[in-house]
Amino acid sequence: MPIFKKNNNKLTKLSAIAISKEKELQQLVEENLAEVLDMHFIETEYTTTFGGRIDTLAIDSNGAPVIIEYKRNKNDNVINQALSYLKWLQAQKQEFLEMLLIKRLGSEKAKSIAIDWKNPRVVCIAESYSKFDIDTVEVIPMRIELFRYRFYDEGIFSLEPVGTTEQIAKLDKPASAKVPVVIESSVDNLLLKANKNIVELFNEIRSRIIEIDENIIQKATALYVAYRVTKNFAEIHIGKNQLKIFMRPIQYEDPEQKVDKIPEGYNWTMDRRIYVKTETDMKYALKMIEQSYKDVL
């Protein structure tokens, strides 16, 4: 997709440029992981016990371990390589990743991250993909995500999702679903604590969120239900008498001043919060959620 720059109501197409060094892409992504992919950086070029090297090892905002591989040449079989690393990672004990987290993030930050060891992700980043790459991702029942990068004049960089799969969604996906729904039974479990009114409010919010964009993915964790495109933009915590919604750290158009800011000492990526107890609250919160969604585009 072409990128244009607007100047005095005139659009000028920006030219795509090649990176000068292959390592430049990896370093750029690693130094900006939180911003571009909503992840915590753990290690670069991590050596496995069988001698391979994982380009980038990370953990996402939902606690899932992430293997990131960069496709530097057209014929690189980066997906198969990443799957080999994934097999190795799954053979490790959870304590292995916990120790790496403490080493990189410190004990306090590491303790705040609940590792989702059962749902690791593979992320591949390349300038282009073959039909073979895309078809492979479509048929493998694992969390594999392809991103296409571009460098442009004037320091412009883009990272666009090409395809996303979710293991459980592919195995049990409703025919009429507009969005991949992951671990749907966990949503039901989270709703058990809520009263009837809160269940109805949550179902309405969920319906309205997935109507925003067909690429939105819903993922239930043990604590909340997350909504994401390339990054999370809403995390809904379900209580008995209220919904607590966490959103992106941006300046909101919030005339009623209902959006709270989490104190900086908590170091949360999603550090804006709004409560929903009534239908009026819900309608107002949806306007805030849409602003948060636009922050991840």
Which domains, from first to last, does the chain contain? 4-165 (3.40.1350.10), 174-294 (3.90.1150)
Top pLDDT among 241 and 111 is at 241
pLDDT at 267: 56
Interior angle at CA 44, CA 38 and CA 49, nearest 5: 120
pLDDT at 180: 41
Average pLDDT score over residue span 266-281: 86
pLDDT at 266: 56
pLDDT at 74: 62
| Per-residue pLDDT reduced to its tens digit, 192-219 | 989 999 999 999 999 999 888 878 888 8
The H helix count followed by the E strand count for the chain is 10, 16
Strand partners, 125: 70, 147
Average pLDDT score over residue span 254-268: 81
Average pLDDT of the chain is 84
pLDDT band at 29 (very low <50, low <70, confident <90, very high): very high
Average pLDDT score over residue span 37-43: 91
pLDDT at 265: 56
Average pLDDT score over residue span 154-175: 60
Within 13 A of 139's CA, how many CA atoms are on the CB side? Answer: 6
Residue 177 has pLDDT above 70, yes or no: no
What is the value of pTM for the model shown? 0.62
Average pLDDT score over residue span 96-100: 89
| CA end-to-end distance (rounded Å), the chain | 14
pLDDT at 155: 85
How far is the C-alpha of 102 from the C-alpha of 118, rounded, in Å?
A: 20
Beta strands in 8-99 (DSSP E): 10-13, 16-17, 39-47, 53-60, 65-71
How far is the C-alpha of 94 from the C-alpha of 91, rounded, in Å?
A: 9
Closest by alpha carbon to 231, among 269, 262, 259?
269
pLDDT at 65: 93
pLDDT at 256: 95
Residue 43 has pLDDT above 50, yes or no: yes
At 130 the three-state DSSP class reads: coil
